Amino acid sequence: MQEDLFKRLVAHCKEYGFVYPSSEVYDGLGGVYDYGPMGVELKNNIKEYWWRAMVQMHENIVGLDSAIFMHPLIWKASGHVDAFNDPLVDNKDSKKRFRADVLIEGEIDKMNGKAEKEVEKAAKRFGESFDEKMFRETNPRVLEYTQKAIDVEKRLAKALKEENMADIKAIIDELEIADPDSGSRNWTDVRQFNLMFSTQLGNISGEEGKLYLRPETAQGIFVNFSNVQKTTRQKIPFGIAQIGKAFRNEIVARQFIFRMREFEQMEMQFFVRPGTEMEWYEKWKEKRMAWHKAVTPAEKLKFKDHDNLAHYANAAVDVQFDFPFGFKELEGIHSRTDFDLSSHSNLSGKKITYFDPEINEHYVPYVVETSVGCDRMFLSILSNAFAEEQVPDAQGEDSKRIVLRLAPSLAPVKCAVLPIVKNKEELVGKAREVFDRLKLHFLCQYDEKDAIGRRYRRQDAIGTPYCVTIDFETIENDTVTIRERDSMKQDRISISEVVRIVRERTDMANILA
Ligand code: GAP
């Protein structure tokens, strides 16, 4: 059911110009997507929402736009050359490549799924008298499945931490995991695969000229720490925010724009006095969750602590969203210690410290990072907004609609201007006049083709919050109807009020507040 819904959402994205497969005329390029006319507007609005919440709303956070290409030693210092790997396994029969940890996690999900099935069956059998808590705690089958899932999860986390590829392979063999498509259990050994894309500088050959496409935007912030601090005279605690492309050679890129090889990150590094990082980590967890909750229902969001910390972190949590394929990471919040600044200082030989006038001390700041994928945010916003519904009192083709219930300030088009008929010069002239006035303030669409019901459906499908209709009464008294997308309610208002009303209701301040 959810899978079907996801397929329809992906098809909708293409049909209405949100997201296209990249290079489609050449049959596409795996894990790469292009944003169409509606997609680019929604994405820009998401970026604006983030930027304003982080930079505009915080006096102590400033912006940066660092280059994608950076000195190759940056990736040595950051640990990405040696430790930015995923465990990879090939199936010798199907010749397909998999992430070994993802295969095992799939098995863990199956074990938990079996336990849930037992609970569901018992709930049906016992009806009202069913005591779920007691059943979970005592039923031998439920206990066996859940314990097994916990054991495998722990063993996988340990093996990943210790980079014990042999044990990861042993888990695959012991659980008799098969290639999901071919059913073959004929696996190669598990080996580490570095996720960075590399390229070559034109004028330097060999290893020395090897460059990487950045796998995270964060390093551009770290290496600019002293520049930004000195030029802005910010005092700790302060943050640097950046939005930009990142690249990862994902072994398996799937689930549409959830896991891509080229994607965009919105990252903020918050520099703090050593010893205060956990306090700031908690504060940023809270602030970031509030940012998500302003545009997403609370029940679709949750925190998930990391079992397996990245090489730079002493605490890490994901904000997960309930995607159509289950709860998955939307944003990562990490306490990154002084790992990055110290490493860059050691490898470059340049001092990267801060003088704290309050305690009269030089130190290497600690860092709390918030990092959210713009594309994942786009997918979460769209999948939450996508609804298929019956339209009361409508007939035939117009009786069903797909509506994107986007927050009005995020919607690509804020207002559509629709003359009720297209062959009345007076009406069309008036509609054009209203449109010309509105387009100074918002992205609007003018549409006169097809019956009015059909035109409303087209606007609903791209999430336009307001439709302004010009009818015969408009010519008499300069009033129009304004239709609200979700309730489909129409009000009659004066033309002179349209800009104010649409502006107030689509203002980003509504969600920023
Ligand atoms: N600087 C820290 C960092 O990069 P991460 O958890 O690897 O941490 C942060 O990535 C966010 O970037 C993720 O929460 C996710 O939203 C997004 N992201 C990571 N890999 C991605 C991919 N292959 N495709 C789309 N988004 C991705």
DSSP string, 61-103: EEEE---SB--THHHHHTTHHHH-EEEEEEBTTT--EEEHHHH
- Mean pLDDT over residues 202-221, rounded? 89
DSSP state of 439: T
pLDDT of 103 strictly over 70: yes
User: Is 218 a pocket residue for ligand 1 (Cβ < 6 Å)?
Assistant: yes
pLDDT of 253 strictly over 90: no
- Report the nearest-CA residue for atom 17 of ligand 1: 373
The answer to whether 351 and 258 are in contact (CB under 8 A) is no
- Mean pLDDT over residues 296-308, rounded? 92
177 — pLDDT class (breaks 50, 70, 90): very high
161 — pLDDT class (breaks 50, 70, 90): confident
User: Is 50 a pocket residue for ligand 1 (Cβ < 6 Å)?
Assistant: no
Q: Could you tell me which of 206, 171, 201 has the C-alpha nearest to residue 189?
A: 171
- Mean pLDDT over residues 434-461, rounded? 95
Percent pLDDT > 70 in the chain is 100
**H, E, C per residue of 249-277:** CCCCCCCHHHCCCEEEEEEEEEEECCCCH
User: Is 332 a pocket residue for ligand 1 (Cβ < 6 Å)?
Assistant: yes
Please report the pLDDT score of residue 1 as a whole number: 53
464 token code pair = 């336009």
- Report the nearest-CA residue for atom 9 of ligand 1: 371
What distance in angstroms lies between residue 372's CA and the mean position of ligand 1's atoms? 7
What average pLDDT is seen over the chain? 94
pLDDT of 313 strictly over 90: no
pLDDT of 341 strictly over 70: yes
pLDDT of 399 strictly over 90: no
331 token code pair = 């944003």
292 token code pair = 């998500």
User: Is 371 a pocket residue for ligand 1 (Cβ < 6 Å)?
Assistant: yes
Closest ligand 1 atom, CA of 267?
1
3-state secondary structure of 480: strand
16 token code pair = 């209405």
- Report the nearest-CA residue for atom 25 of ligand 1: 259
Please report the pLDDT score of residue 205 as a whole number: 76
User: Is 222 a pocket residue for ligand 1 (Cβ < 6 Å)?
Assistant: no
User: Is 248 a pocket residue for ligand 1 (Cβ < 6 Å)?
Assistant: yes
- Mean pLDDT over residues 75-101, rounded? 93
What distance in angstroms lies between residue 249's CA and the mean position of ligand 1's atoms? 12
What DSSP element (H or E) covers 328? strand 326-337
User: Is 31 a pocket residue for ligand 1 (Cβ < 6 Å)?
Assistant: no
- Mean pLDDT over residues 179-195, rounded? 94
User: Is 259 a pocket residue for ligand 1 (Cβ < 6 Å)?
Assistant: yes
180 token code pair = 């999901």
Residue with tokens 């098995």: 107
**Residue 289: C-alpha distances to residues 33, 364, 441 (Å):** 28, 28, 31
Please report the pLDDT score of residue 347 as a whole number: 97
pLDDT of 396 strictly over 80: no
3-state secondary structure of 191: strand
The answer to whether 313 and 330 are in contact (CB under 8 A) is no
Closest ligand 1 atom, CA of 259?
24
Closest ligand 1 atom, CA of 373?
16
pLDDT of 370 strictly over 70: yes
Ligand 1 pocket: which of 197, 376, 380 to mutate (most atoms within 8 A of CB): 376
pLDDT of 355 strictly over 60: yes
Q: What is the CA angle 23-27-31, rounded to 5?
A: 65
What distance in angstroms lies between residue 385's CA and the mean position of ligand 1's atoms? 22
168 token code pair = 């990861």
